[in-house]
Amino acid sequence: MYDAPASEQKVTQNETKIAARNVQVFYGSTHAIKDVNVEIEDKTVTAFIGPSGCGKSTFLRCLNRMNDTIDICRVEGDILLDGEDIYDARVDPVQLRAKVGMVFQKPNPFPKSIYDNIAYGPRIHGLAKNKADLDDIVEKSLRRGAIWDEVKDRLHAPGTGLSGGQQQRLCIARAVATEPEVLLMDEPCSALDPIATGQVEELIDELRENYSVVIVTHSMQQAARVSQKTAFFHLGNLVEYGETGQIFTNPVDPRTESYITGRIG
Amino acid sequence: MTDATSTPPGGGARTKSSLMTLDNRVRRRNAAEARFRAYGIAAVTVGLIFLALLLFAIVRNGVPAFTQTFMTIPVELKADKLDKNGNRDIEEIKKVSTFGYKPLIIDAMSRTLADNGIESPFAKDKDLEKMVSASASAQIRDFVIANPGRIGETVDFRVLASSRVDGYMKGRVAREDLARDKNLDAEHLDVTDALNEAGVLKREFNWAFILGADASESRPEQAGIGVSMLGSFFMMLVVLGLALPIGVAASIYLEEFAPKNRWTDLIEVNISNLAAVPSIVFGILGLAVFIQFAHLPQSAPLVGGLVLTLMTLPTIIISTRASLKAVPPSIRDAALGVGASKMQSVFHHVLPLAMPGILTGTIIGLAQALGETAPLLLIGMVGYIASNYPDGIASGFLDPNSAMPAQIYEWAKRADPAYYERAWGGIIILLLFLMTMNIIAIILRRRFERRW
């Protein structure tokens, strides 16, 4: 069920970062993702929209194999990162997740200091040779997370003591600290107030310079604001994928139109 | 708005009601709630009354065991009795058994009476012997062997009064009881009263009860719980050393790594069942496996510890798994999301967060093991160790010993009411240990508890 071929819509400036080919996902006997083909570009924000339970989060979690932790989950088809199949038997998900970072719906800082939250990833991946190196990485990541100025005087205070919006930016900073190539965000603003949401969206826009960002969102306004590409999922199908402007102003599929005009979903 | 839409769904016209008066339905509901609260308060009160009664009984019966009646008597270490040849040869002095010291004590007693102007009511001085603990002659003999040079002198000894004298001082032995007691008669109590007035008898705090060894049936005044306390301590070391690592490793594997299939389900059910197995079953299992099959020594703290480990493991596994489950999955996601391996996410993030729960479960498990008696009886952890440490427990884990609850059981079994009192005293010590452990558990939980 692939209605709008991506190739027709694409006004390509960037190369493909992740390519999904005929991806099927099953939870036990439930067919959660049905035959999804999509090409996610580098240095682009791609938004996944769709009603609850349409499979957008499930698909997102396939992209860094977070679904491996669910016993009954089974993935078929190919997902290629820079042309390499991430579900290949030789791929260690740990290495993959260092390249494909993830930010979750609820801010989930470790119950440790702000510094340790950021330093944890670089430490386990051996990215820092010494303490000064690590300090550098922490500062750089916090700056990229647009939270440095707020926390630079209390790096050793617990990360859980920050406000919700700060926590989420901390989590984004933590995700970029391992120098990923792709950043997956699963409804990163759903637990935040409008001001914090605005800050995080601004941040996402800045991150586009260095990363390929994939964001799952419930808010169509947010998708319209932050993304260049939008994919609409419905009942496990990828209904339509294309330029964000085109999807919101001139959708090809009637289901997409119904959703963005508020008639379904 | 028509009449039809404003009619309540129940139909019929709505009667005007005031908020100031309760309708019947609300009144019934309020009454039901008040009744329920009364039941709750009654239940809590009954519980508290029983607790208060228990504590009162324990303190009332047990506290006297911590004091003991001592008397100071001047004993003349007669050279003609202790060292007949007069050559101060230590080997020859050792040949004089404790029986040889009895006359000295009897002399000392009659001299004490004379010094204090008390007339002996007995035809024979020998009857005075019953007032002094049988341990006195051993105490004096030990002194003489250690200081042979002092033979011939008169030395003041602080000796234990016999358990009946002690009981009379504590009010445990009354004059009415004498009819049933061959060991004492009214004259003894008269002398006791007189000595007490003269200040020779003193009731003092008795460290030997807390630190000392058990004593024979006939001298309860000498018995202490110290050696069995050490037995319990060695057992707890074994339990802690085995149950904590095994239990935590098993729980982490089952909770975080094991696939969910029929086998792990079976294991889970069995662990839950094991937690409910009566402890005596573990005792007989330990008897069969550790003693009869593996030929480990009987009555040894090692075997006791192994049996208690088996008993404690399910408790530790269940509480550890519960605290691992309580760690929010978002923490695991966060760790996996930055590229931590499964093991790193467990050891760096999940385990530290679960630590307070694990420690609490372990300490509760240890406390349970500390108070366990039945399995110890089956493996013979009721060793009668009358010599005080360090002689009695030279090598600890493999030497016969007893444990606190087993010792208490032994004392409660003995006929002499003086031992009954000591059983209560032992219970106080056991409860103090358990309370300490529970307090440590609470402190640890408070200290390590973090919010996320």
Dist CA A4 CA A7 (whole Å): 9
Residue B110 to residue B223: CA distance in whole angstroms:
27
Mean pLDDT to the nearest integer, B407-436: 91
Q: Model pTM?
A: 0.81
| Contact residues for B317 (Cβ-Cβ < 8 A; gap 6+) | B247, B250, B251, B254, B271
Evaluate if residue A11 carries a pLDDT over 70. no
CA angle B282, B288, B293 (to 5 degrees): 135
Q: Long-range pairs for B164-169 at CB < 8 Å and ≥24 separation?
A: B164/B130, B164/B188, B165/B69, B165/B131, B165/B192, B165/B201, B166/B68, B166/B69, B166/B221, B166/B418, B167/B417, B167/B418, B168/B192, B169/B69, B169/B196, B169/B201, B169/B203
- CATH 3.40.50.11290 fits domain A6-260: no
Neighbours of A213 (CB within 10 A): 24
**pLDDT of B199 strictly over 90:** no
Is the per-residue pLDDT at A9 higher than 70?
no
Cβ distance A70 to A234 under 8 Å?
no
- Searching chain A, which residue's CA lies closest to the CA of residue B342? A94
- What is the three-state SS of chain B? CCHHHHCCCCCCCCCCCCCCCCCHHHHHHHHHHHHHHHHHHHHHHHHHHHHHHHHHHHHHHHHHHHEEEEEEEEEECCHHHHCCCCCCCHHHHHHCCHHHHHHHHHHHHHHHHHHCCCCCCCCCHHHHHHHECCHHHHHHHHHHHHCHHHCCCEEEEEEEECHHHHHHHHCCCCHHHHHHCCCCCHHHHHHHHHHHHHCCEEEEECHHHHHCCCCCCCCHHHCCCHHHHHHHHHHHHHHHHHHHHHHHHHHHHHHHHCCCCHHHHHHHHHHHHHHCCCHHHHHHHHHHHHHHHCCCCCCCHHHHHHHHHHHHHHHHHHHHHHHHHHCCHHHHHHHHHCCCCHHHHHHHHHHHHHHHHHHHHHHHHHHHHHCCCHHHHHCCCECCCCCCCCHHHCCCCCCCCECHHHHHHHHHHCCCHHHHHHHHHHHHHHHHHHHHHHHHHHHHHHHHCCCC
Each residue of B30-85: pLDDT tens digit? Answer: 999 999 999 999 999 999 999 999 999 999 999 999 999 999 999 988 888 887 77
Q: Residue A35: left (phi > 0), alpha (psi -120 to 50), or beta?
A: left
Q: In chain B, where are the structural domains located?
A: 66-205, 226-448
Task: Indicate yes or no: CB of A110 within 8 angstroms of CB of B331.
Answer: yes
Interchain pair B339, A177: CB under 8 A:
no
Mutate to test the interface with A, among B255, B260, B338, B448 (most CBs of A within 10 A): B338
Q: How confident is the model at residue B212 (pLDDT cuts 50, 70, 90)?
A: confident
> Does B337 sit within 8 Å of A64, measured CB to CB?
yes
Residue B449 has pLDDT above 80, yes or no: no
| Residue A220 near residue A203 (C-beta atoms within 8 A) | no
Q: How far is CA A244 from the centre of its chain?
A: 16
Q: Do the strands B154-160 and A100-103 form a parallel or antiparallel pair, or are they unpaired?
A: unpaired
| Arithmetic mean of pLDDT, B88-103 | 84
Tell the CATH topology of B226-448: MetI-like fold (1.10.3720)
Mean pLDDT of all residues in A168-180: 91
Which pLDDT score is estimated for A4? 45
Give me B263's structure tokens.
């086998």
Q: Is B332 on the interface with A (CB under 8 A)?
A: yes
Pairwise CB contact (< 8 Å): B450 & A177: no
CB nearest to B260's CB, from A71, A94, A95: A71
pLDDT at position B444 is 83
Q: Tell me: pLDDT of A5 over 50.
A: no
In whole numbers, what is the pLDDT of chain B averaged over residues?
87
Cβ B331–A120 below 8 Å, yes or no?
Answer: no
CB pair distance less than 8 Å for B337 and A160: no
State the pLDDT at residue B425. Answer: 94
Both structure tokens of A176: 């970029």
Rounded to whole angstroms, how far apart are CA atoms A153 and A169? 17
> What's residue B11's pLDDT?
54
Q: Do A174 and B338 touch (CB under 8 A)?
A: yes
Give the E-state strand segments of chain A in sequence order. 16-27, 30-41, 45-49, 73-81, 84-85, 100-103, 182-186, 212-216, 229-234, 237-243
**Phi/psi at B6 (nearest 5 deg)?**
-90, -5
Give me the sheet containing A212-216, strands edge to edge: A100-103, A182-186, A212-216, A45-49, A229-234, A237-243
Residue type, A99: K
How many other CB atoms sit within 10 Å of the CB of residue A200?
A: 25
Name the residue among B344, B451, B452 with its Cβ closest to that of A124.
B344
Is the pLDDT score of B91 beyond 80? Answer: yes
* Residue B286 neighbours by CB distance under 10 Å: 26
Nearest alpha carbon to residue A48 among A261, A195, A242: A242
Q: Are B221 and B285 in contact (CB under 8 A)?
A: no
pLDDT, tens digit (0-9, with 9 covering 90-100), for B290-306 = 999 999 888 889 999 99
- Contact criterion met (CB < 8 Å) for A110 and B260: no
B333/A94 CB distance under 8 A: no
The partner residue sitting opposite B339, judged by closest CB among A71, A103, A178, is A178
Q: Residue B51's CB: how many other CB atoms inside 10 A?
A: 10
pLDDT confidence bin for B450, thresholds 50/70/90:
low
Q: B334 and A110 in contact by Cβ < 8 A?
A: yes
Chain A contact set for B348 (CB, 8 A) = 120, 124
Query: Between B333, B338, B450, which is nearest A121 by CB?
Result: B338
What number of CA atoms fall less than 13 Å from residue A205's CA on the CB side? 11
Contact B261/A at CB under 8 A: no
Question: B330 to chain A, minimum CA–CA distance in Å?
Answer: 6
Q: What is the pLDDT of residue A2?
A: 44
- The length of chain A in residues reads 265
Q: How far is B70 from B139, CA to CA, in rounded Å?
A: 13
Q: Which residues of B touch A97 (CB under 8 A)?
A: 336-339
With tokens 């062997």, the residue in question is: B145
B134: confidence class by pLDDT, cuts 50, 70, 90: confident
CB A180 within 8 A of CB A186: no
B335/A94 CB distance under 8 A = no
- What pLDDT sits at residue B16? 76
- Residue ranges per structural domain of chain A: 6-260
User: Mind telling me how many Å the CA of A166 is from chain B's nearest CA?
Assistant: 14
Q: Which residues of A touch B (CB under 8 A)?
A: 64, 66, 69, 71, 94-95, 97-98, 101-104, 106, 108-111, 120-121, 124-125, 160, 171, 174-175, 177-178
pLDDT(A8) > 90: no
Q: Does B262 touch chain A (CB under 8 A)?
A: no
Dihedral (Cα; B284, B287, B289, B293), 10-degree rounding: -140
Q: Is the pLDDT of residue A28 over 80?
A: yes
Residues of A in contact with B259 (CB under 8 A): 71
Q: Is the pLDDT of residue B396 over 90?
A: no
Distances (CA, A) of A109 to A103, A188, B65: 10, 13, 56
Asked whether the beta carbons of A174 and B338 are under 8 A apart, the reply is yes
- Name chain B contacts of A167, Cβ cutoff 8 Å: none
| A195-224 confidence digits (pLDDT tens) | 888 888 988 998 888 889 999 998 888 999
Please give the residue of chain B at the shortest CA–CA distance from A183: B337
Task: State whether B338 and A111 contact (CB < 8 Å).
Answer: no
- pLDDT reading at B389 higher than 70: no
- Number of H-type helices and E-type strands within chain A: 11, 10
pLDDT of A59 reads 92
Q: Determine which of A57, A64, A120, A178 to mutate to test the interface with B (most B C-beta atoms within 10 Å).
A: A120
Among A106, A109, A111, beta carbon nearest to B353: A111
Are A24 and A77 in contact by the 8 Å Cβ rule? The answer is yes
Instruction: Dig out the tokens for A172 from the structure.
Output: 């984004």
Residues in chain B: 452
Q: Which residues in chain B (195-224) have CB-CB distances under 8 A to chain A?
A: none
Q: With residue A134 as reference, give the H or E element that holds it.
A: helix A131-144
Amino acid, single-letter form, for residue B48: L
Residue A130 DSSP label: S
Region B163-167: what's the mean pLDDT? 88
Confidence band of B7 (pLDDT split at 50, 70, 90): low
Q: What percent of chain B has pLDDT over 70?
A: 94
Q: What is the pLDDT of residue B8?
A: 55
pLDDT at B1 over 60: no
| Confidence category of residue B254, pLDDT binned at 50, 70, 90 | very high
Identify which of A94, A95, A160 has the shortest CB distance to residue B451. A160
